[in-house]
Amino acid sequence: MTMPGLPYERFTSEERIRLTLMAATREDWTELKVLAATCPSQSRVGPHMSYSLRFLRLTMMVQAVLSRWVEASAWCLATGSGVAVGGGRSTDALWKQASASWRGIEEGIKKFCGETNLTYEQLFVVVGGQPAVIELTTSALHPKARPNAHWARNVHQWLSDAWRDPAEIPQEEMQNNFLGPW
């Protein structure tokens, strides 16, 4: 809900960030767009935005993917070792599901790396490298688990979108990706 009469152009960066977080919390996409559109602009000297924004987007997405992969690893290690879990499902079924998610994430990463000619080391260097738990989990996966196609497709798409040159992304798509519902 935009508030007529507010001095949108004069908000400090802290005020604008707080208002942005409040609008996002209430899922007020119109207010988010107004806050972004009225943000003062400035000229800057520095790395070209097609590099800076692309690198930032890639770094953020690699961190998000890696977080999900580490979470899947934790589930594989916990359920594969027979640790009891609630919910009425057998530990074997949960282990197989977690392993399928883990393999799906791995498949999405492999596909992205193959298309971009990046190695895992090059991809994960932006977040400090691949955690040891990922390698440790390879020997703890359910032997019958196949890669989860949903995870494979989504991880590949997320990384591919982050890899795109921002200059080639239509303005409307950029606004929808950054200001629309997730």
Inter-residue contact 179 to 33 (CB < 8 Å)? yes
DSSP state, residue 87: S
Q: Six-digit token pair at 115? A: 């298309």
Residue 54: closest CA among 155, 166, 170, 159: 166
Percentages of the chain per state (helix, strand, coil), in multiples of 5: 70, 0, 30
Cα–Cα distances in Å, from 66 out to 11, 82, 98, 138, 160? 35, 24, 15, 15, 15
Q: 96 in helix, strand or coil?
A: helix
Closest CA to 159 of 98, 92, 69, 82: 69
pLDDT in 10s for each residue of the chain, 182 residues:
555 567 777 788 788 888 888 888 888 989 888 888 888 887 778 777 778 888 888 999 999 999 999 999 999 998 887 665 555 567 888 999 999 999 999 999 999 999 999 999 999 998 999 999 999 999 999 999 999 999 999 999 999 999 887 777 777 766 555 543 33
**pLDDT at position 86, please?**
58
Q: Are 112 and 164 in contact (CB under 8 A)?
A: no
pTM: 0.72
Token digits of residue 45: 């000297």
Q: Are 131 and 80 in contact (CB under 8 A)?
A: no
Question: How far apart (Å, rounded) are the C-alpha atoms in residues 172 and 104?
Answer: 31
